Structure 1
Amino acid sequence: MTDGPRVALVTGATQGLGLALVKALAQRLNTEDVVYATGRDRARLDEIRAELTGTGARVRTELFDVADPDRAEELAAALAERHGGIDIVFNNAVMRVTPDDDPRAIVGPYAEVNNFATTRVLRAFAPRLRDGGRLIVVASALGSLSYLAPVLHSRFDDLATLDEVDRAVADWRDAVRDGSAFSGPWPAFVNILSKIGQVAAVRTLAKRRREDDLARDVLIASVCPGMMNTPTSQAWWEVSDAPTPDEAAGPLLELALKPVHPEQYGELVREGRIVPWHPAGV
């Protein structure tokens, strides 16, 4: 990473894993470094900044609604002008769903926050990473073609551009919204396809940047934090024995702060191990 002050940014940082990442970065980085906590709730951001003052790195806040189609580029440009670039980005913002949600009603905003915002963050921040930078998309182990019907693999595998990823996600969104997905091969749980779309976006960008990035010690990857004990997870599963967000943040920080392992570049990583993109035997 850069010899000067480092700059980190976390999206979706007002609660859960995002807040845990901000806290951990503030503790692990130096006092001259800067950690930006971002989110949509200005009052909550102000509370976080006050709570974390004096904990290590300087914690600053920025309003960042990832669903705003222009905000990622605006913020990335502003930080690059302010600091000369950026060193660590955790794309963590997510729209959560519950078992009571109607997929047809929520899939539009869900795809906007979880998927189209991911590609916007990749487009905006990847070109502004400094040498040694890290751009990490928080996804899950569901982001594997193993969870997708083989007839759909080609829609997300080996795509050439992020625009192609967006079109594939839009086709899925529209199929859920008009109901046709429920009689076809699409997975019933919307989180599966959303995570596959996120991992596909990382793989697509990384394929184009790999050689130059590795020469500059830059890592672009997606990461699975594993099951966590959060209110959202509690609505779906028994998670009383699962790690807290603070505990789950540890392996993600290792990925951001330790030397790059080239085999992890562009891949989905869980606790230092690569989650296979293709099903076994393919």
Structure 2
Amino acid sequence: MTASRIALVTGANQGLGRALVEGLAARLGPQDVVLLTGRSQQRVSEAAREVARADGTRSRVEGRVLDVSDREAIGRLAGELSTRHGGVDIVISNAIARLLPEDSQAGRADEFIDVSNTATHAILRSFGPVLRTGGRLLVVASTLGTLGHLDPRLHHLFDGASLDEVEYAVESWRAAVHAGTAAEAGWPGWLNVPSKVAQVAAVRAVAAERREGDRADGTLIASVCPGMVDTATSRPWFSDYSHAQSPSRAARAVLDLVLAEQVEPDHYGELVRFGKVLPWYSGTPPTEQDRILTP
């Protein structure tokens, strides 16, 4: 990476995203810049100010408003950072729409898909080209992102797919949810499963196109599972969260991956959990009784 690094985290004013910003600001140098982004100007400003003043912070922390459901806003920010800094060194796509157990899955589908999937596609398209040599672009997913968690009838939509094809599959899923035909097509009622599979598939698609050049210059594009994290988003789904990690603890393994001096070749384009690759074809489709957030 370059002497002066630019890092950006989405969904970063609270929870895991904020912990990732705190960790980056503590582990990068005084010449580096960490951008804390979120939708609310007030929350972003407050969080950035608190992190900047915290003990152990070494890097400059800047708050930036970014609604990840706005693809044009993502593109503008990538263009601005390219013009201003010559690109970015670290991008962590972490934003997720909060979904409660009592919420209607179909009723929240558009917001959930826009924040988790449309945003992932836009970040990969906009920040991939401005990622500097030796950079890191990670998408936060989960173990639910392995292909085996989907009905086998749907595997062909994501296995070996291009980014365009992943986007088409996601929009087909969205349309089926609205039409009330998702279940008969094999889509699970729980939004988190196809969303995570699609996120990992999108990363795999972009990585497949860039693999040779990125592996030659030490650039890493991957998806990452932080494990079970005790946050406001995840807590309502657990009857027992006593073994969940704090956001700061969960951030450590992600940051170790981001800040490793050398990229493990096997990590490139894969879903990585605690430094280990999760096999793409693993997992079994969940039942309705399995509607919990799986680490």
Q: CA deviation at 1:215?
A: 1.1
Name structure 1 gaps, 5 residues minimum.
none
C-alpha distance in 2 between matches for 1:58 and 1:42: 18
Alignment of structure 1 residues 72-151 onto 2, 5 Å: 72-151=74-153
C-alpha distance in 2 between matches for 1:46 and 1:25: 17
Query: Which residue number in structure 2 is paired with residue 260 of structure 1?
Result: 263
Question: Is 1:270 matched with 2:273?
Answer: yes
Letter in 2 for 1:213: D
Q: CA deviation at 1:94?
A: 0.8
Say if 2:229 and 2:244, in contact at 8 Å, map to a contact too. Answer: yes
The runs of at least 4 consecutive aligned structure 1 residues that moved more than 4 Å come to none
Aligned residues: 278
Letter in 1 for 2:106: R
Moved more, 89-98 or 184-193: 184-193
Q: Secondary structure at the match of 1:105?
A: coil
C-alpha distance in 2 between matches for 1:48 and 1:212: 36
Name structure 2 gaps, 5 residues minimum.
284-295
Q: Secondary structure at the match of 2:233?
A: helix
Question: Is 1:218 matched with 2:219?
Answer: yes
Say if 1:233 and 1:239, in contact at 8 Å, map to a contact too. Answer: no
Letter in 1 for 2:81: L
**TM score, norm. by length of structure 2:** 0.92
Given candidates 149, 153, 156, the residue that maps to 1:154 is 156
Query: Which residue number in structure 1 is paired with residue 293 of structure 2?
Result: none
Query: Which residue number in structure 2 is paired with residue 26 of structure 1?
Result: 25
**TM score, norm. by length of structure 1:** 0.96
C-alpha distance in 1 between matches for 2:63 and 2:86: 18
C-alpha distance in 2 between matches for 1:96 and 1:72: 20
C-alpha distance in 1 between matches for 2:12 and 2:232: 16
Say if 1:219 and 1:260, in contact at 8 Å, map to a contact too. Answer: yes
Query: Which residue number in structure 2 is paired with residue 47 of structure 1?
Result: 46
Say if 1:108 and 1:177, in contact at 8 Å, map to a contact too. Answer: no
C-alpha distance in 2 between matches for 1:227 and 1:189: 18
Q: Describe the superposition over 1:69-128 as per-residue Cα deviations: whole angstroms up to 9, x where unpaired.
A: 201110001011111111000000111211111111110111111001100000000111
Q: Percent identity?
A: 50
Q: CA deviation at 1:174?
A: 1.4
Q: CA deviation at 1:181?
A: 1.3
Say if 2:16 and 2:231, in contact at 8 Å, map to a contact too. Answer: no
Alignment of structure 1 residues 190-205 onto 2, 5 Å: 190-205=191-206
Letter in 2 for 1:94: I
Say if 2:15 and 2:232, in contact at 8 Å, map to a contact too. Answer: no
C-alpha distance in 1 between matches for 2:52 and 2:106: 42
Q: Secondary structure at the match of 1:8?
A: strand
Letter in 1 for 2:280: W
Query: Which residue number in structure 2 is paired with residue 208 of structure 1?
Result: 209
Q: CA deviation at 1:231?
A: 2.4
Q: Secondary structure at the match of 1:133?
A: strand
Say if 1:103 and 1:176, in contact at 8 Å, map to a contact too. Answer: no
Q: Secondary structure at the match of 1:104?
A: coil
Letter in 2 for 1:279: S
Query: Which residue number in structure 1 is paired with residue 67 of structure 2?
Result: 65
Q: CA deviation at 1:180?
A: 1.1
Query: Which residue number in structure 2 is paired with residue 14 of structure 1?
Result: 13
Q: Describe the superposition over 1:18-52 as per-residue Cα deviations: whole angstroms up to 9, x where unpaired.
A: 00000000000001100000011111111122212
